[in-house]
Each structure stands twice: as C-alpha cells, then as structure tokens.
Amino acid sequence: MLALAELLRLDKPYGTLLLLWPSLWALTIASGGRPTVGLVATFCLGAFVMRSAGCAVNDLADRRLDARVDRTKDRPLASGRLTPADALAAITLLLALAALLLWPLPPLTRWLSLPAVALTALYPFMKRVFPAPQLVLGAAFGWGVPMAWSAVHNRLDPTAWLLFFATLCWATAYDTIYALMDLADDERAGIHSTARLFGHWNWLAIALLGAAMLALLAAAGRRADLHLPFSLALGAVALLFFYQAARVRMGIDRHAAFRLFRAHVGVGLIVLLGIELDYVVRYLMVR
C-alpha cells in the first residue's frame, strides 16, 4: 500500500493543488463568485484523480529512465516494488472514477474530458521528441479551465480561453524551474525540457512567461469586471516572479529549484483569493 501511495503521490499534494487552482479560478468567475458546493467538490476530486492518474502514467512510461536518475531511482516502478500491471490497474480505476465524476456534468464538459485524458497520456512521451514538453504539461494542467467553465454554462467564451492560456504560461514557467533539478540527468539521457531549451536564458524565459500569465489574467479580469483585490493579487504574483527570475539568473542548486517550484502552490491560492475577495467586496458594496 505504501508503494501505491507513492505511485499516486499521496504524500506530495502540491501537484494536485497546482492542477486544481485554475479550475477553481474558472468556476468562481463563471459563476459570478458563487460556485455550487457540488461543482467545487467535483473538481477537487477530479484534480486529485487526474493528477494521480497522470503520475502513474508518467512513472509507467519512465520506469527504465527513472531507474538511472538519482532523484527518481526509488520510485515504486523504477525500483520494482510495483509492476507495470499494478500501474495499469491503478490507472484504469482512476479513469473509471473520473468518468463517474463527469457523469452528472453537461455534455460539453464530458466531451472536453477526452483531450484531458489525451494530454495526460501524451506528456511522458513528448519528453523524448519535443524540445518544449512543458507546453504539453501546461495544456494538461490548464485543461480544467474550459471544463470548469463549461460545467457552469455548457459553453465556452473568451474569458475561459484567457484563463487557459494564462495557466499554460504559468505551468510552463514553474515546470521549467522544476526541470532545473534534473538538468544534468536529462542532458545525459537525451530527455527534452524547456530548462535545456532555454539554457542560460532560463531566468528570462521564466520572467517572460510570468509576464504573459499576468497579462492574460489581467485581460480575463477586465472581462469579468474584477477590480482592486484581484489587481493586488496579480501585483503580489508579479513580485514573486521577479524574485524567482533573479534567483535563477544568479544560479540555484536542486534544493533551491524545488523550493521555488513549490512556492507556486501559493501563487495559485493568491490568485484565487484575489478573485474571491473581489466578489465579496462587490457583494458588500451592493448591500
């Protein structure tokens, strides 16, 4: 059971939160600040299920590679504590649970789940052939946005796509930082990453991706008529991106890269709190 928990990353919830925050941004804005408890619960459970499934797919595809990398050699599949059949059984069960969560949702949301599954399955293999696989990961982590928006309205509009592309930029930035931890191992193994692609200019790429994320969120906020609390949240995020780009430019080790990556859990929460506070202030002013 411990090996299965490690496969599903039950001890590392930050990945689930990074997947969840954009969906909650979309749910909150699409519902005018009042998402239903049922939808919030559905997307919270969905984030947990799909992140766990994605980790299992990734470890299954990378089991031989992981065995040659210090950071990952003790993962359950790489170390032989679980078999590929065990991983396939877990993935099947998780996808079945995801299908059950989707069943009460509108037809468009159910159709949109198909690209989500495809992106989850595709990402581990893109690392072998595509110079910027973090873009695929970003699309996978952002796909909850159109699903959440459609769950409220059974349609999509430009605000949903602005939030999606903001998430794509954000995820590419933080996963570039994450990839810095394995830069030497990836170079030896011939595994692609944006950390390898950008090289000496990683700091600038992180800054520009952060700026693009903030610009897209600001555009979404204007469409949703969000004001001061949301703007303050974006300002706080801008300061963090500036700090992280400066740290990367100075040079960081593996442990520092992980700390910078993990801080992005707070970024997603700050944006969500900015959205929520904006609607609370609006409600109090109307009263």
> SS3 breakdown of the chain: % helix, strand, coil, rounded to 5?
80, 0, 20
What confidence tens digit (pLDDT) does each residue in 31-63 have? 999 999 999 999 999 999 999 999 999 988 888
**Span 64-84, mean pLDDT?**
81
Q: How many domains does the chain have?
A: 1
In whole angstroms, give the CA distance from residue 69 to residue 26.
37
* Sequence-ordered alpha helix ranges (H) in 62-157: 63-66, 76-79, 84-102, 107-129, 133-142, 144-153
Range of the domain at 263: 2-286
Residue 213, pLDDT score: 98
**Residue in 45, 71, 44 with CA at minimum distance from that of residue 59:** 71
Per-residue confidence at 68, pLDDT binned at 50, 70, 90?
confident
Residue 22, pLDDT score: 98
Q: In this structure, how many other beta carbons lie within 10 angstroms of the beta carbon of residue 132?
A: 17
The pair of structure tokens assigned to 99 is 């299908």
Cut 0.75: pTM above it = yes
Percent with pLDDT over 70 in the chain: 99
**Span 14-38, mean pLDDT?**
96
Residue 124, pLDDT score: 86
Per-residue confidence at 147, pLDDT binned at 50, 70, 90?
very high
- Residue with the bigger pLDDT between 72 and 110: it is 110
The pair of structure tokens assigned to 250 is 């100075």
Residue 127, pLDDT score: 87
What confidence tens digit (pLDDT) does each residue in 77-87 have? 888 888 899 98
**Residue in 47, 268, 75, 25 with CA at minimum distance from that of residue 170:** 268
**Span 186-197, mean pLDDT?**
87
**Span 100-105, mean pLDDT?**
95
Domain CATH for 95: 1.10.357.140
DSSP 33: T
pLDDT of 67 > 80? The answer is: no
What confidence tens digit (pLDDT) does each residue in 266-279 have? 999 999 999 999 99
Least confident of 116-125, 239-248, 255-264: 116-125
pLDDT of 261 > 90? The answer is: yes
Give Cβ neighbours of residue 145 (< 8 Å, ≥ 6 apart): 22, 23, 25, 26, 160, 163, 164, 167
Backbone phi and psi for residue 62, each to the nearest 5 degrees, phi listed first:
-105, 15
